[in-house]
Structure 1
Amino acid sequence: MNLFHLKYFIKLAELEHYTKASKELNITQPSLSNAISSLEDEILVKLFEKKGRNVVLTKSGKIFFKIIKSALDNIDEAVNYVQKISSGNGVINIGFLQTLITTNIIEFCKKFKDSNKNKDIRFNFHNNFTDKLLLGLKSGDYDVIFTSKTDKDDSIQYIPITTQDLVLIVPDNHELANRDNVLLKDITSFDFISFNKKNCLHNLIMNNFKRIDKYPKVLYTADDEPLVIGLVGQHLGIAIIPNIPILDDLNIKKIEIKDIEQNRFFYMAYLKNNGNNIPVVYDFINYISDHKLKI
């Protein structure tokens, strides 16, 4: 079925006059007549009938008009949408760890948008645990994620963007609160708050204790940084946690750990050879790759 013939049909149905319709379509009247006849022959339905000098839709023509008008509108909308996408417009779905909410990732998203003011670029932001972020990336829920690196996965491209120091936090009246720095062995004799095993920080922190062959007395576990901070604030124990900006605003003491070897690395991750990514996603990936984030 000829798309132009369908568009000619819509215009004639709207104007109900061959001469007027052919002028607006910038074609000759015989060409319009032949197109309508060809369309009627193809679908085996009479679409118009004469009424004086005009033409009007038949009952079948009215039904056909309603359906084809909607279909052509959808086609035009689809064409406009993919043209915008191919020109660098579109929505980027970003997932990131909750601990990165207070970092300048969102600021960099704004800078990327500001550097492309002639384009319609939007972001959807989501936060989750590393395993959920990776599942969402693979399922297409996220275009790009900011996360820690887990087991090697050849389908995912990881680009290191920043590091985050691990520090000890203690209640402000704790025995260690007067210290500016400690060793890992100094921590093991106190009640300790650990991350749950599903949080990648758990292994990162425990591997440091494994190195010295001494482990802390874990009394409580928590899902994420806010919960750990809250438990420390309630004087339920001490904890090792990423050095995030919010720590400076709380009534807890932050202490350097002198012999910690594994600090936290963060990566931007996206699927390799992902044909579903729109051009603006790759523009964003390149932008972030060219700028080092500071936490």
Structure 2
Amino acid sequence: MNLNQLEYFRTLAHEEHYTRAAQMLSITQPSLSHAIAQLEQELGTRLFEKKGRNIVLTRYGKIFLPFVEDALKILDDGVQRTRELNGSKEGMINLAYIYTMGSDFAPRMVRKFIDTFPDYKIDFHFTVGTTGEILDGLKSDQYDIVFSSFQDGEPDIDFKKIGRQKLVVAVPQDHPLAIKDSVDLRDTIEYPQIYFSKGSGLRPVVDSMFEKIDQFPKVAFEMEEDSSMAGLVAQGFGIAVMPDIPILRALGLKTLDIYNPFYERSVYIATLKKHYLSPVAKAFIQFVCEETK
């Protein structure tokens, strides 16, 4: 059994037609037939059977196929990573980030990196979610790099601080608080609030701010994602304690600094410790860290 036989088997299993499969593989049909016959002889079973003008997998072929596909994928991954280690400027980066970094920071960093290094050929894949969700994805190898809040109890994750996000109170322009430029959080208690849901990494932060003044707001709605929160504020459903992100100004909201209790949240670039990172991923991490010094 050799690699060519496995490639031929996979292609024929998908095409279910000897002529089409041979054309895709750039070999003759007799060569394909011979290779499959040798593979069947080695396995001691038939892998294909005729069905009209086509051929289909036998019961044993169906059992064998997923193992072949897994083996070929592992080999392809090994080839790709070996090439990357050889200094390649090509590759893929799976980048995930929290909602508050999706409207400006993450897209801006990727654009600046691409413009700064036009010789790099990188396929970025983007995912947005809560801190908990994307850190779980990082640990399960779904993502290479994450922009998130810091999370305690994660000894296998390397967090590097890349910036701060100030929290403000967002209100409509016609709200009674809009005459102010800054507020004590106590000033907000009498008004309904759009609040972060329990799945958000900011929920415990905002909770702790209200705990410091020994009061808790009237929650009108709970939301996981801050651009949706801003939309509800803009439509008069309540006010919100949230990061000072660009969409607040785009929606014409007034932002009020919070002088008591004052809080700034740090944001981080997170990767798995002792985990393989491609040269292009390392280059992007270094770029982000230098840009945010």
Is the pair's TM-score, using the shorter chain for normalization, greater than 0.5?
yes
- Deviation, structure 1 residue 184: 1.1
What residue number does 1:85 align with? 84
- Counterparts of 1:188-207 in structure 2, within 5 Å, are 188-207=189-208
Q: 1:271 to 1:75 in 2, by over 3 A?
A: closer
- Deviation, structure 1 residue 233: 1.8
Q: 1:283 to 1:234 in 2, by over 3 A?
A: same
- Deviation, structure 1 residue 209: 1.2
- Deviation, structure 1 residue 65: 9.4
| 1:196-241, Cα deviation, whole Å (9 max, x unpaired) | 1111211111101111212222232112112211221221221111
CA distance in 1, matches of 2:108, 2:179: 36
CA distance in 2, matches of 1:100, 1:128: 10
What amino acid sits opposite 2:251 in the alignment? L
What amino acid sits opposite 1:64 in the alignment? A
What residue number does 1:187 align with? 188
Name whichever of 158-167 and 190-199 sits farther off. 190-199
Structure with bigger gyration radius = 1
What residue number does 1:126 align with? 127
Name whichever of 114-123 and 162-171 sits farther off. 114-123
CA contact (8 A) 2:161 2:268 kept: yes
| 1:114-172, Cα deviation, whole Å (9 max, x unpaired) | 44433422211111111110111011110000011122311000000011111111122
- Counterparts of 1:155-174 in structure 2, within 5 Å, are 155-174=156-175
Please report the TM-score for the alignment, with normalisation by the length of structure 1.
0.70
- Counterparts of 1:1-295 in structure 2, within 5 Å, are 63-64=34-35, 81-82=80-81, 84-86=83-85, 87-88=87-88, 89-275=90-276, 277-292=277-292
Structure 1 unaligned blocks of 5 or more: 7-56
CA contact (8 A) 1:84 1:90 kept: no
| Corresponding pairs, count | 235
| 1:10-46, Cα deviation, whole Å (9 max, x unpaired) | xxxxxxxxxxxxxxxxxxxxxxxxxxxxxxxxxxxxx
Q: 1:92 to 1:66 in 2, by over 3 A?
A: farther
CA distance in 2, matches of 1:223, 1:273: 32
Please report the TM-score for the alignment, with normalisation by the length of structure 2.
0.71
What amino acid sits opposite 2:249 in the alignment? D
- Deviation, structure 1 residue 187: 1.0
CA contact (8 A) 1:169 1:238 kept: yes
CA contact (8 A) 2:97 2:106 kept: no
Q: 1:64 to 1:201 in 2, by over 3 A?
A: same
For the aligned residues, what is the CA RMSD? 3.1
CA contact (8 A) 2:230 2:247 kept: no
CA distance in 2, matches of 1:2, 1:168: 65
Q: 1:75 to 1:181 in 2, by over 3 A?
A: closer
Q: 1:122 to 1:189 in 2, by over 3 A?
A: same
What residue number does 2:20 align with? none
- Deviation, structure 1 residue 67: 8.5
Structure 2 unaligned blocks of 5 or more: 5-27, 40-71
Identical residues among aligned pairs (%): 31
What amino acid sits opposite 2:282 in the alignment? Y
What residue number does 2:69 align with? none
CA distance in 2, matches of 1:220, 1:289: 36
CA contact (8 A) 2:159 2:269 kept: yes
CA contact (8 A) 2:200 2:224 kept: yes
CA contact (8 A) 1:170 1:254 kept: yes
- Deviation, structure 1 residue 80: 6.7
CA distance in 2, matches of 1:214, 1:207: 10
